[in-house]
Structure 1
Amino acid sequence: MTARRPYPSNLSDARWALVQPTLTAWRNDRATRALAFGRPPEHSVRDLLDAILYVDRTGIPWRYLPHDYPPRQTAYAYFPHWQNDGVFAQLNGLLRRLVRTTEGRGAEPTACIVGSQSVKTSTNVPKTSQGIDPAKKIIGRKRSIVTDTLGLLLAVLVTAASVQDGTAGRHLLTQIASDHPTVTKAWADMGYKNAVVEHGAALGIDVDIVRRDPATKGFVVQPRRWVVERTLGWLMNHRRPARDYEALPARSEAMIHIAMISLMPRHLTGENTPTWRGA
């Protein structure tokens, strides 16, 4: 592509260097198979990732992708390919380990925090994947996440908003025990008590329920749980996750991974993250 003025969401050279090996390895593997059919790649993976980051950051529909990116049909086609091949999850894990090491922590966490957030959905989201969260009075979907003690994403599960926290929590703890066997401690709110605590114990994870003091009124920062709430706030700085626009829950999970992929390289390179007003 011809040189263009970069958008605020585009990767700088320093940030691109952090993710380039993973995407280049994926491209080389795919290109080997594609060449057998006489179809060499036409667009760089950097331009394609920049296009996806732009959609995640700005919240625009794919058809509104600026013309100086690869064609929106191409960018949209790569998005599910990378999600299905686990590229976004792989990049999230790589960057998380780099951030933890930079902060003087072990590459793998030993403790985690569980939380959830219900969000409204757009009109293109199938009703079969939506539900009602009676506590939040929201019709839509629920994103349940697990973070480490720095607030970095370990696991995400998108369900109908009607799914109980306990159900999602058991699923996530099973995933954590499998993917992060070093985790032995977890904190969660009252929505995850009883069955989740018992399930965690069976997996070797001590789940501690953070209880709100009934004497307090209004907003009060909860010990440990504020970390996962901050991460949910980070997601809201990306307009695509501010409302669930994805037809498939797996694509919605990918958008959350992409938001973290956008955030962590800036932390590693010391570059500022533009806000909505500054973008």
Structure 2
Amino acid sequence: EEGVFDQFNSLLRRQVRRQEGREAEPSACVIDSQSIKTSTNVPASGQGVDAGKKIVGRKRSIVIDTVGLLLAVLVTAASVQDSVAGQALIEKVAAEHPTVRKTWVDGGYRQYLVEHAATLGIDMHIVRRDPAARGFTALPRRWTVERTLGWLMNHRRLARDYEAHPHRSEAMVHLAMINLMTRRLTAESTPSWRGT
């Protein structure tokens, strides 16, 4: 099921990019992850503990283009390191999107991943937060992936991971992105509970 959603997602992404005056295929991307809690029907073997965020559950690692549209997603146990998931994702991006030549990641990704990306012809930059900054500051290039994760969390089914199998969780992310892109293409703005 994820393969069908992935193909449809790819088709819609090209249309949205063209509508915004960009090339159909991206030349740059951003990678990040999000740890989320799981429901009681998720088997314990598919979960893990993200010690940094103190979350027991799963981790969604996503790759987006600079417009904020999904290129790839990988759902793992929350205990999986960002660099491990990042390696699988960067290989998938290199295979499926040969036009991508640059990517930005946060400090959770290790130097060996930068070197691995270079062997695939992708220039990876680690964007670090300014240690002198206080409170929230938008990081250059990286804020787009945070925005996309926020868009995904607005879909109730993604507020928590309810799926027993990780590939179904990935399909739910694809469905949410398809919903977002169809609204973007049709310029539909549905009233939400946030305005009340």
- Same-fold call, TM > 0.5? yes
- Counterpart pick for 2:134 among 204, 214, 217: 217
Matched, 1:204 2:115: no
Structure with more contact order per residue of length (Cα contacts < 8 Å, sep ≥ 6): 2
* Amino acid corresponding to residue 92 of structure 1 in structure 2: N
Quote the RMSD (CA, aligned, Å).
1.2
SS in 2 for 1:190: coil
TM-score (norm 2): 0.97
Q: Distance in 2 between matches of 1:215 and 1:278?
A: 35
CA deviation after TM superposition for structure 1 residue 274, in Å: 3.9
Partner of 2:188 in structure 1?
271
**1:89-117, CA deviations, whole angstroms, 9 ceiling, x for partnerless residues?**
11100100000000110000000000100
Q: Distance in 1 between matches of 2:164 and 2:11?
A: 27
Letter in 2 for 1:254: A
Aligned equivalents of 1:91, 1:176: Cα separation in 2: 17
The aligned counterpart of 2:10 is 93
- 1:26-41 → structure 2 map (5 Å cutoff): none
Please report the TM-score for the alignment, with normalisation by the length of structure 1: 0.69
Q: How far apart, CA to CA, are the structure 2 residues paired with 1:164 and 1:264?
A: 30
Q: CA deviation at 1:181?
A: 0.4
SS of residue in 1 equivalent to 2:136: coil
Q: 2: CA distance between counterparts of 1:94 and 1:273? A: 23
Q: Structure 1's 273 and 114: CA in aligned 2 closer, same or farther, altered over 3 A?
A: farther
Shift of 1:193: 2.8
Paired residues for 1:57-72 under 5 Å: none
Question: What pairs with 1:111-130 in structure 2 (closer than 5 Å)?
Answer: 111-130=28-47
Q: How do 1:108-187 and structure 2 match up within 5 A? A: 108-187=25-104
- Once residues 273 and 96 of structure 1 are traced to their aligned partners in structure 2, the CA distance between those partners, rounded to angstroms, is 21
CA distance in 2, matches of 1:194, 1:148: 22
Tell me the distance in 1 between the aligned counterparts of 2:146 and 2:165.
Answer: 24
SS of equivalent residue, structure 1 residue 94: helix
Superposition deviation, residue 217 in structure 1: 1.8
- The total of aligned residue pairs comes to 196
State the Cα deviation string for residues 147-190 of structure 1 (Å, max 9, x = none): 00000000000000000000000100000000000000000000
Cα pair 1:263 1:273 within 8 Å, conserved? no
Could you list the runs of 5+ residues in structure 2 that have no partner in the other structure?
none
Cα shift at 1:278: 6.6
Structure richer in helix, relative to its length:
1
Structure showing greater radius of gyration is 1
Q: Counterpart amino acid of 1:167?
A: V
Q: Secondary structure at the match of 2:108?
A: helix
Contact 1:190 1:210 in 2 (8 A): yes
Match of 1:231 in 2: 148
SS of 1:99's equivalent in the other structure is: helix
Deviation at 1:269, TM superposition (A): 0.9
* CA apart distance, 1:195: 1.6
Asked whether the 8 Å contact 1:96–1:152 carries over to 2, the reply is yes
Instruction: Give runs of ≥4 in structure 1 deviating > 2 Å.
Output: 273-279
Which residue type is aligned with residue 140 of structure 2?
P
Whichever structure has more strand as a proportion of its residues is 2
Name 1:40's counterpart in structure 2. none
Which of 91, 111, 120 aligns to 1:194? It is: 111
Cα distance in 2, alignment partners of residues 220 and 258 from structure 1: 30
Cα deviation for residue 275 of structure 1 reads 2.8
User: Which letter does structure 2 place at the counterpart of 1:228?
Assistant: V
